[in-house]
Each structure stands twice: as C-alpha cells, then as structure tokens.
Structure 1
Amino acid sequence: MKIVIADDHAVVRSGFSMIINFQNDMEVVDTAADGMEAYQKVAQHEPDVLLLDLSMPPGESGLIATGRIHEDFPSTKILILTMHDDDEYLFHVLKNGAAGYILKNAPDQELIAAIRTVKNNGTYISPKMTNSLVREFIKNGEANQDDRLEILSKRELEILPLVAKGYGNKEIAEMLYISVKTVEAHKAKIMEKLNLKSKPELVEYALKKKLLEF
C-alpha cells in the first residue's frame, strides 16, 4: 500500500518512514511538511493512507487539511498522528473525514495495525482515547459546546471568527464599522476570557467550536 506522511519535523518523517518501509506490503511514497503540501502530495500520488500531524506551524495544520483532503480524495484514508490526547481534536477530525487517531508515542506495532485498519475501511482510535470518547458520548451524545463561549459578548463573537479566518485589524474594523483600537481591545478580551495565548490557539479553538461557520 502507498503511504504519505505529513509532519513538520524531518526527523519524525524519517523515523516513521523507516518503520513503515520495513513492512513488506507498505511503502512511503512521499512526505510533506504541512497540510498544504500534504494536499499536493495526495493529489500527486493518490496514496492508500495519509499519516497527518495535527499541528504543523507555521504551515497549514492537520485540523484544516483533514476536511479538504477527505472531500477531494475520499479514497485516501486519513490517519491522524499526533501528540494531542484531546477529546475535542478527536471529535473534530473524525467529523471531518479522518479514519483514525493515533498518538505519536504509540508502539510501532500499534501504528502498523492502525494503518492496516484504516486501509481496510475500518476506524482506528488510540486505546488511550477510547475511554474518554465513550465518556463524552455518554455524557452529551456528541462533542459539547464550551461554556466559555457564553462569557463572550455579541461583538466578541463577531470578531473571533473573523480573526480566525485571517482578517487583519483594519479589515475587521471596516467590516464592523468600528475603530481599529476597538478591534484590538476586543481581541485582547477574547484571548483573556478564553485563556488563549496565541493566534494559532485561537484558530484551533474556532475550528473546534465550528465558529468559522458564523
């Protein structure tokens, strides 16, 4: 089976390539450093499986790339390979077409088993994530909205998705007919209320909460 690996660290790409190429029925045909390049490599090779990291700064993240790749190349199975044992990331990528979710510190045998599972149209979830997945569904039936959103003002809820989409302060000010200083003040309040430290964190938060659909 043909496999593409997307990760922003060259040593990670090399390490997992060695593990996979050691298998008689697997071959890593190419690698990528971010989501955008992963999309291009999938278009070029049409691999059976794409191993996709979630966080690949400063390039396009796996959170964003998953949906695009699944929609345009549904025959390629996406296996998320990440350090994030976070329920919300898990729900987000599964809803957007990922076939599996495995942690980077998993044993080699587990990685190979996960690849075989998704290749054969199965779904693979890291055992470390299974209990939290079950608890979440029992509790809510689906990933629940973060209560912290309730503390944002109406204006802050307008600004947050615009920031996440990449609009600058001046563009947002013109769109909402407010001053640039007002936009900056609201952005600071949003970061403080949601306990976010950087713009990438804000973008990932907006993606997980589906705020880009606003």
Structure 2
Amino acid sequence: MTDLSHQPISVVVVDDHAIFRSGLRADLDTRLHVVAEADSVETAIEAITREQPAVVLLDVHLPGGNGGGGAEVLAGCAALLGKTRFLALSVSDAAEDVVTVIRAGARGYVTKTISGAEISDAVVRVAGGDAVFSPRLAGFVLDAFGTASVASVDDELDRLSARELEVMRLIARGYSYKEVARELFISVKTVETHVSSVLRKLQLSSRHELTRWAADRRLL
C-alpha cells in the first residue's frame, strides 16, 4: 500500500509575473509539489478547478476577469473552499487588500518579502488547517473581524461537511434546488437533504435565514 503521509502537498501558483513564478517554484522545498501555474483570473480559476490542489498561492492583484483579482478567483472557486485552501501572497500590505481576500475565503496572507523557506512553512501550515499571516498583517484581520467572531465563524463552519459547505454557499447565493443539483451533479433530493442538515447544524429555520447568516459573515 502506498504511504500517502509522505506525499508532497499539491500547490497551484497564481501570479502574473513569470519570473516571480519560476523563482518561487525553485524556492519551495520538497514537501510541496507545484502542479500548475496561472497568470490571470480566468487561467487561475481554470487551473484550480482542474487540479483541485491542497493549497493555492494566490497573488492579490491579477489581470482579467471583472477586475476583482485574487478575491474574484476565490469567488470563482467557492465550491472548492471546503478542500482547497488559499494563501494570499502579495507585495501589497494594505489593510484593504488583506481584509478583502480573507473575507473572500483565503486562509492567510503573507508578503513577498519572506523567504522561500518561510513560504514553504506557511503553505504546510495552511494545508494543515492553520491561518497564517505576516506579523503586522494579522492586526488588520483582528481589527476587521474581531478574534471572537473569527473563532465563532470557524466553529460554525467546522460543523458542516465539505459537500454541505458547497450546498450552503450556492443556496445562500440564491440558487434554486435544481440549479444546485445541476452545478454539483447531484439529485434534487440530495440537495434537499443537505439543506435540511445545514439548517439543523446552524440552528436556522429557512433558506432566507441561511442567506442572511452567510451575508452577515461575509461568506457569499
């Protein structure tokens, strides 16, 4: 039997500068394996959807799409957020950039001033479920969300399975049961079962309450 515990962590690198991508790829250590690269919103969504890596190293400012950059990539890959984790990697240390991608679903944010060894460690930690930030950036997140609210949202989301999380996001965005079924390649009956389970676990009574719950927590 193959020992999967020593398999390298699959990574997709998203940055619009080819020289930076090649340098980063060379600096990452052997615990990580780059399975694809992308240089725009569209190519990033395509590569991430195709590869479904453990971690995406995601630049914040990217060409293409509707101008939303890394946050737009996260929105386009919302269905994968239960299994693929995103670590923002940018030259920007602006509070607005940090808060925007974290609200969109990134698990951390580091600046490009850190070393290859530090980036490798950050990817491993994010793959393991940690939230990772360059020291001065963590304060932006705490100011925007508050430590208690971040812990509360994480605890609530941890109650949901990966499939329930996918269904929850689509229902909260206004998809009908049929549209969710078509999007996730499951039956309408299965969608109904997942919705009932989500409502029960989150102690909500209707899809309208679910939409409000998700909007209040910046999960849409």
| Bin of the TM-score, shorter chain as denominator length | 0.5 to 0.7
CA distance in 2, matches of 1:25, 1:113: 9
Q: Tell me if 1:19 matches 2:27.
A: yes
Which residue is equivalent to 1:56? 62
Q: TM-score, normalised by structure 2?
A: 0.57
| Alignment equivalent of 1:94, drawn from 102, 105, 109 | 102
Identity of aligned residues (%): 27
In structure 1, what is the Cα distance between the partners aligned to 2:117 and 2:80? 30
- How do 1:154-173 and structure 2 match up within 5 A? none
Report what 2:17 is aligned to. 9
- Aligned counterpart for 2:112 among listed residues 76, 79, 104: 104
Q: Which residue of 2 aligns with 1:78?
A: 86
> In 2, distance between residues paired with 1:135 and 1:97?
17
Matched to 2:41, the amino acid is G
Aligned equivalents of 1:45, 1:124: Cα separation in 2: 23
**CA distance 1:119–1:6, shift in 2 (3 Å):** same
**Cα distance between partner residues in 2 of 1:26 and 1:103:** 19
Runs of 4+, deviation exceeding 6 Å: none
Q: Is the 8 A contact 1:70 1:78 kept in 2?
A: no
Q: SS state of the match for residue 84, structure 1? A: coil
Superposition deviation, residue 137 in structure 1: 5.5
Which residue does the alignment assign to 1:47? 53
Name the structure 2 match of 1:31: 37
Q: Partner letter of residue 24 of structure 2?
A: F
Measured in 2, the distance between the counterparts of 1:29 and 1:36 equals 17
* Partners of 1:3 and 1:28 within 8 A in 2: yes
Summarize deviations over 1:152-176 as a string: whole Å, max 9, x none: xxxxxxxxxxxxxxxxxxxxxxxxx
Could you list the runs of 5+ residues in structure 1 that have no partner in the other structure? 143-212
Whole-Å Cα distance in 2 between the matches of residues 84 and 99 of structure 1?
17
Aligned residue pairs, count: 139
- The alignment status of 1:67 with 2:85, answered yes or no, reads no
Identify which range, 3-12 or 49-58, moves more after superposition: 49-58
Deviation, structure 1 residue 26: 1.1
Structure 1 length-normalised TM = 0.59
What RMSD in Å do the two structures reach over aligned CA positions?
2.3
Structure 2 SS opposite 1:55: coil
Structure of higher RCO (CA pairs closer than 8 Å, 6+ residues apart): 2
